[in-house]
Structure 1
Amino acid sequence: MTNIFRQLIAPWLLALVLAWVLIIVWHYNETRNQQLQQIQQLAVTAKYAAQATLSGNNNQQLANQLRQIDYSAAPAVKYIAAYDGQLQLIASSKPAEAAAVLNDAADVYQVTALPDGSQLAVLPVSTGLASSQPAVAGQNRGNGYVVVVFRNQPGGLVWLVPLALLTVALAAGLILSIGALRRGQLRLATDVELLAHYCRRLQNSRQHSQTAEPLVAVLKPLQQVINDLAATLDHKQLTTEQLVQQLNQRAQHANLQLTELEQQRQQLTTELQLQQRQLRHWFGQSMLLWQRRDQLQSGQLQRLLQMHLLAGYYQFSDKVVQGQPVQLGHWLGQHISELNEILAPTAAISLDWHEHADSLGCTVNICQKTLQSLLQALIMLCLRIEDVSKIAVTIQLQPSEQQPVLRLTASCNGNGLPAHCRELIKTDDLQELQWSDTDVALLKAIQTTGAAFNSQSLDGLGCILQLTVPVQTERHHVAKTIQHLLIFDADSERGQQRSVALNGIASQVSKCNKPAELEQLIHSKVFDIVLVFLPPTTDISDWQKLRHSLQQQPGVLYFAPPDSIASWLQTLPDVLASQQFCLSLVQKKAEQLPNPANQQHILVVDDNETNLAFVQVLLKNKPLVLHTATSAAQVFSLCAQTRFDMILLDIQLPDMSGVDIAKKLRQMPQYRQVPIVAFTAHALPAEIERYREAGMDDIVFKPLEPARLDTLLARFSLSANPG
């Protein structure tokens, strides 16, 4: 209440006092002015009436007129009287006794106050004055005076009315102001309580403590501060919750890792215990194998020991099958005799080695001892089959951009793998393997390096064993040193497989499976190499005649089955066992052939195998050595090894255009004069001119016509042997 009095009542009282003073002063001045005006107007009226009657000395008439004027005047007029020049009463609107005694009078209009508080207005009256003279004026002491007496009316009630209205208005305003102020204070108290509530929420660190309610203006800065604090608290709490959530997730992740580590520890413990048992078992089998050394042949013991050691090496270490780069064809030619020694006790079993042309153009990073033992393990596993008579081992390299693999396949006839062998292959417990099962142990241990071993066995149909080993390879170009090769094999399926592999070292391979066809071919054409796979039994006299014809060929290799090689040696002293056949042996035979000095070489470059085969057919009976290439890299590699007498160059190659190849060849001293012929499907005159600017001597179009080829060879003196 003190604040209300200070803030509102004290100013209100001061304003009320000032208003009263102003009203009283204003009312007093206004009332006085009005009275003076009324007195003046009444005096003027009485003056004119007196002027009209003073000249006739009719005092009664003047008195009547004064009464009439008094009667019509305002209630404030007490009486009106007329005096002569000697200040004697002449006439009055009231009895003469009530008239005041006029002791003195001024020559001008004046108002004086009587002792009783009345107002006395004296106005000189001049008779005979003209009408143009002022109504109240000048010297007229001889004529008389008009006196008007006014009552002094109390003005308190008159003043109280506006003061009361003003007081009521101010009181109403005060009441409204007090009500508004109280409502404001109530609103302020409510807002303060609301802010106190949110402050307590902030103190208790509760979220969403912002207030959006409209508050009084004085509290808005505090509301903004509280909202900012609440927003900061919410942000910190949110950050804290996120941190707690992250910590919980990390804790969960750590628990999972601990669980995984514990599982890994248990697994490692189990694996270590298993490995210890396997190591003890492996060591025990090693001792047993060594104890059997007197019962085994030297070569057999050496193979078993090597396979047993390699099985332990790959079983108990995380090594990969890598080693020095190996060219599979050359390696097989060096170790084929050692591999064939496995069949020495069982000479009735034939062993065929099959290679693929893809294996010739790559070197493989592999341990040679491991490769040898793996092939021996596959052969030994095939020898466990009853009634086996034929074993075929295929070595195939499958290059790939992702992961090249070496696929070793052993297939055989017979009754299939014995049941206990199939169980050993399927089992995961290596402790069931004995020292005599080193072949199976090595094939299973090599799988720890990423290799895969599969077996298919059917009773009465033999089995197929396949081992796939991931390897690292490097490609290189292999020149075909043999131009024309002929293969004879009564087994057409085996002959087809070997002819495919021979295409990797020979430009042209011909095959036949009947002696009559063989005789016809050797009489019609000269072959660089002739491979003859003799049948098991036949009329030896017929082959004696064929042998005489075959002696006219530059190079002949005879192969016979192991069970009939003894009989064939009587007729053909240089016959070899069929298991000795490999591509490396054929290449060595080709290297032993005489190389005539007058032999001319032609290089045909095209990335289309069909076009190359067609050119080979056209040059089949030509006295030329044909070389082929499918890329610019092969062209430069061959040209660095051999000086060609003519180059038939394709324009569009995968790695470089024929135009650029011709330009580079012309920069080589040995090929500045060698004929280079563009080999393309079509060419515009502008393109032909560009070929000539690159150094090409002529152009031929695909498909190549025989007559056009003969003309081209004759132009560059390649159609016959130079004299």
Structure 2
Amino acid sequence: MTNYFRQLTLPWLIALSLMLLFTALWYHYESKIMQRAQVQQYTSSLQFSIRPLLTSKNPDLLKAQLNHLRYASVLPVGAIAVYSDSGRLISGTDKAALLPQFQPHHRQHEFHLWHEAGKLIAVQPMSSAASSGYEDVIAGQNDNYYIVVQLDAPGNYSVWLVPVLVVAMLGWAALLVMLSGIGRVSQRQQTDISLLVHKLSQLKQGQLNSRLDEDLVSELTPLKLALNELAGQQLNNRSRDDTEKNQLKQQITELTQSLASEKQQTAQLQRLYEQSKQKQQQQILQLRQLTQQQAVMPDNLLQQALHSQVMLAELTLATEPEPLTPLVLTEYVARQLPHYRNILAAQNLTLQLNEAAANAVYQLALPESLLTTLLTALLRLSSHSEGITELTLNMQLSVTGSAGSLLLSVTGNGDGLLASVRQQLVNPGLQSQHWQDSDSQIVTLITTKLNAVIEVQSLEGLGSTVSVRIPAADCQPVQVKRLNHLLLFDQQLARLTERKAALGSLVTHVAQSTDLAELQLKAKQYHYDAALIFLPAPTELAAWLELIQALKQNSKVFCYADPNCIQMWREALGVAITAEPFCLAELQQVETVDTVKLPRLLVVDDNPTNLAFIQMLLKQQPLELTTANCAQQALQLCTGQQFDVILLDIQLPDLHGTEVARQLRQMQEYQLTPILAFTAHALADEVASFKAAGMNDVIFKPLEVNKLQQILDWCSSAKTDNTGQ
């Protein structure tokens, strides 16, 4: 681009010179045209000014007029003279003598202008008789005249010099601008070339940031593209080299780790071999001890010890992981419970079972064989304590989302665990050669396989608890059949609370009792799906017999008793009574009673506190509760539904309670329905008005627990009447 501008410099100067010459000639020509037009216009005006004076024949007056016109002209007039067509001077200005001798050779009819002796001479022909209406000023004559005007010729340079200078200045300014642009472009080229050289130097040195992103002049754009392409290729090559280096490093690292892992595996195999060898030696020593003591050991203990040795050997030699089995814990416990009870029966120990509500509604995946072996070992090692008579097996599944944990614990009374067993559970790596420690070794091995955690609590004289918490990663909910209402009895309040919590996943409403009289009352109120009775020490056998016979008519009855008194209960009641621990799976075989048989109670009160308190009191009772806060809502509910008992507030905001009772009695469906007045106080005449309106009884506020039975009695009697109908 710079060379292009430089090549245009000389043609531009030539064009500028030609332009100046043309401008000068043009302005010179234009000035002559304008000068001629001005002089012609001036001479024409002279004709009109002096034509009237030609008739006066007064030369002085004509001369004066000519002098006046000369001085008044804006043109540089030197002299003015009037000649006749014969060349005679008629009149002239003061300097008319300076005019050249005018002698027309022939008659002129047009304006003439020429240069003579540095002066301009203008000749304008005219006649004494003008076409503008003048009469002949000279009688009998028709003379023609010539006006001769001498003007100073202006300098030629004044006409064209200024335009030429203006054009020259503009041309030089354009040339300077062009030269300045050429300089800037040249400087930009030098800068871009220096940048290219710098980037090429970086590219040569192998630097990665050698790409050129700045804008360059158009001549250097191909070089920029080539440079960037080379830089991109270099970057790709460097990236490929770095990738290959990283891959080589990673391969070297993997090989190093593989070698280290193989070394660790070799060392681990060596340790496992040594441990296996030691365990085999321990098992041999334990078997020798059993062989030496078999003469004095009972057969059942010897059989258990040998079985423990076999399980320990199998666990020690097992290399493959046990397969996972989908388990619902309630079903699993029902299958394994006879086996666990037989383990303890040989030692005359009783077994209690506590299950969590989640055991019945979730399925988890665990190795079933390991779980069975673990529970067997836990029961056996806990049964070795001195003075023990009872073991309690707790299986508590807790689930959060899909993850959960299973807590297995065995609690026993007596003097606590043996010292060797406790040390083996707390320190799994501790070596033991006694045959009684084989169960604790089984527990530690299985907890290691299941990633479980062991906790041991043992105090002399206070018993012991061994807990194993097993993680369960995939817990899926399962559908179970729920009972509507169940009657639960147990004299031990703590155990009653635990059983009620465990039943929460299988039973909607649980009516609990710790007293025989209360149990008799609850049994009369409703027909339950099932009754779960944990019999106390044998007392009041006749009352118990009557109660059990009444319950059996409408409900499935489960009776459990202590083994020491189970025979007495069987003889007294004449029903099946079991000493086995109760498990939740037994309730899943019970057929539910239709919920239509539930008595339906409608409570009408405008006080939200009273309604909330009543709902809390009746929540666990065998009835269907509906509430209304005004008379209009109560009447609408009674129109669309059939209630067995209505507890009706007297002071309602929209209608008095007696009026509501009268309207209800007018309905065919509620002519015999018990309606109970609900009021804070009432005189004898008010009570009479309540009954006159159709109410059956009065319940005084505030509603207390002892008054609750009055409502339940009405519900029970109303349901019995309706059923009989």
TM-score by length of 2: 0.49
